[in-house]
Amino acid sequence: MSYISLYRKYRPKNFQDMVGQKIIIQILQNILISKKIGHFYLFSGGRGVGKTTLAKIFAKGVNCLQFKNQDCCNVCDACNAINQKNCLDVIEIDGASYSGVDDIRELQDIIKYANSVLKYKICIIDEVHVLSSNAFNALLKLLEEPPMQVIFILITSELNKIPTTISSRSQKFLFLPLSQQDILQQLKKIVNKEKICITDESLDKIAFYANHSLRDALNLLDQISSYKKDLIEEADVENMLGIFSNSKIKQLVKLLNDANIKKIISFLEENLTLNIDLVLFVDDFIDYLLTEFINFAKIKRTEEKKIFDLLNFEKRDKFFKILFDLKKILLFSNQKKNIIIYNIICLYQLIWVSEQISPKLIKNSNFDIEIDNQNFILRENEIKTKEESKKSTFRESFIHDLKEILSNSCEKTKKKFDKAFEINKEKYEKSNSGDYFLYNKSKILIVSTKNKVLLSCDDSDVYRELLKSRIKEQIKSLFNKKTNLIKDYLVILEQDWKEKLEFVYKGFLQNQDIVQLQKGIANFVTNFYEENSPLNIEQEQNAIIKTARDFFGFDKVKVVD
């Protein structure tokens, strides 16, 4: 066979030619210089990172007759004998083929004889983790009482499968994955030597999809150079590997931002063709979104920021869980394309819709959608009009209002309201008006001299009701029956008051220290209140109306006040 594969042709023959693994190389060179050579080394790491290659270079280094400049010479008799693979003193065994106890006993018989050429007899066992338990026991005996002038180098890609009785007796070296930059530099050297006409973008793509393995990168380069003889471009690499291009992934994310479900489905059906590696597409999609999320967390806003702005912490966690679960499901599915489309629709609904839409009946605390003679009627119970826009963020506004109420409380006025509460509770026990929610579902905490009241309630449903415009107006009219006592009120959960705010407020009443009050409420978490604010509820409802029209058709959905 005249042609030699690139990964074999350019296999390093000395330490200087190695790619990556700088620390391990430095340690092995120092071992050779100081002549502190042990009898047992264990090399572990992923595929294509240089384990077997470095084992052979180390074998040459310990036997080199002209070792200088911290490297083997590759010209002496010892180096030549190892390079030509005809030296009896270098025993290379594949653990997958020789995994039985009899194979290890045969090895014992071989290594007990004197060396024929080299100073050290080298025994390299590749993929040692596949040995049977009896074979490991036999090997353990050999390692405990090693023959003189014999060095064992065991190589594995699954260190966890090596018995601790074996690994604890070795000098362990963990080979790290090669960086994309190291692989790219080596590819450029080989491309120049082989005179392969290829763009830098194509080499970047090969280095990325090599999964930190130089051997995989060289095999890909071998394939692509056979696939196309003239200039190799990025699109050629994508076609060969079945890659969903980065530009298309950006386009898909933009469609998610634009909230157009029909275009998303059409785009996926058109682009997820037979030549696309769907598992690889999901990997790339996850990688792209994770990168965007990290940039989002660093406050480096990009055009995709809208997705993560719309998701709270819980939804972001669910967003990525859908993607990670999708990756697992695809490994065992024959309907990969449909499963991907379904899961991306789920992502869309998570971003834009608070509840999943059912064509038969959707019930929500704010609206219902029902089928009525093939016309879908959206009955809107309560849609809160937008509050006046404020220059500050929701959190700043909420904390400001809270501080204003806490720092200007009036206990005398509060007592009057408490008395009125007790009188009116039974009167409005069965009502569904503002009176009912005020007297039976809430509690007055503080009445402020600034014409504001702080109320508490037990759960999110009541919280939403108390902020509805109809209920709010009724409650304000109750407070202002005789005189204009209040302009507005703020609502918090009873649990938040007891656990996070009550002790801060009591401390302020004792010390009247406004700075301490500010510090006490500065870290108050307002996520719940922002998510359940009238403005946010309205946005959710508008998104659902839009989604209903996207799914069922604009003319099929009617919004009824």
- Asked if 490 and 401 sit in the same domain, the reply is yes
Task: Evaluate the CA torsion angle 99, 103, 105, 109 in order and state its sign.
Answer: negative
For 305-330, how does the pLDDT look when each residue is reduced to its tens digit (9 = 90+)? 567 777 777 888 888 899 998 888 88
Is residue 373 pLDDT above 50, yes or no?
no
Q: Which of 373-377, 504-508, 515-519, 548-552 has the highest mean pLDDT?
A: 504-508
- Asked if 422 and 496 sit in the same domain, the reply is yes
- Asked if 205 and 305 sit in the same domain, the reply is no
In a domain, 380, yes or no: no
In a domain, 107, yes or no: yes
Amino acid 142: pLDDT: 85
Q: Is 148 exposed, middle or buried (0-12, 13-18, 19+ CB in 10 A)?
A: exposed
Amino acid 377: pLDDT: 39
Is residue 187 pLDDT above 90, yes or no?
yes
Q: Which of 143, 190, 181, 136 is nearest to 163 (CA)?
A: 136
Last residue in a domain, options 220, 241, 262? 241
- Asked if 253 and 346 sit in the same domain, the reply is yes
In a domain, 100, yes or no: yes
- Asked if 138 and 193 sit in the same domain, the reply is no
Counted domains in the chain: 4
Residue 187, CA distances (Å) to 14, 47, 184, 340 in order = 18, 17, 5, 34
In a domain, 67, yes or no: yes
CA-based R_g, the chain, Å? 36
Q: Identify the three-state secondary structure at position 518.
A: helix
Average pLDDT over residues 103-115: 83
Q: Which of 206, 210, 181 is nearest to 196 (CA)?
A: 206
Task: Evaluate the CA torsion angle 451, 455, 460, 464 in order and state its sign.
Answer: negative
Last residue in a domain, options 323, 352, 381? 352
pTM score of the predicted model: 0.59
Average pLDDT over residues 264-269: 90
- Asked if 15 and 39 sit in the same domain, the reply is yes
For 21-78, how does the pLDDT look when each residue is reduced to its tens digit (9 = 90+)? 999 999 999 999 998 999 999 999 999 999 999 999 999 999 999 888 888 998 998 9
- Asked if 496 and 516 sit in the same domain, the reply is yes
Task: Kindly report the CATH number assigned to the domain that includes residue 259.
Answer: 1.20.272.10
Q: Identify the three-state secondary structure at position 94.
A: strand
Q: Side by side, which strands form the sheet with 121-126?
A: 90-94, 121-126, 150-156, 40-45, 171-175
Is residue 282 pLDDT above 70, yes or no?
yes
- Asked if 304 and 404 sit in the same domain, the reply is no
In order, the DSSP letters of 245-261 are -HHHHHHHHHHHHHT-H
Task: Kindly report the CATH number assigned to the domain that includes residue 197.
Answer: 1.10.8.60
- Asked if 451 and 508 sit in the same domain, the reply is yes
Task: Evaluate the CA torsion angle 444, 527, 531, 318 in order and state its sign.
Answer: negative
**Backbone φ and ψ of 143, nearest 5°:** -75, -30
Last residue in a domain, options 292, 326, 352? 352
- Asked if 23 and 149 sit in the same domain, the reply is yes
In a domain, 290, yes or no: yes
Rounded to an integer, what distance in angstroms lies between the CA atom of residue 369 and that of residue 371? 7
Angle of helix 336-352 relative to helix 313-330, nearest 10 degrees, comes to 180
Q: Which of 495, 485, 496 is nearest to 449 (CA)?
A: 485
CB-CB contact of 360 with 371 (8 Å): yes
**Backbone φ and ψ of 94, nearest 5°:** -90, 115
Q: Which residues contact 171 (CB under 8 A, 6 or more apart)?
A: 38, 40, 41, 42
Q: Identify the three-state secondary structure at position 545.
A: helix
- Asked if 96 and 167 sit in the same domain, the reply is yes
Amino acid 137: pLDDT: 87
The pair of three-digit structure tokens given for residue 561, joined into one six-digit string: 């006040």
- Asked if 319 and 408 sit in the same domain, the reply is no
pLDDT-derived band at 378, boundaries 50, 70, 90 = very low
Half-sphere exposure of 72 (CA within 13 A, CB side): 30
Q: Domain span at residue 511?
A: 394-525
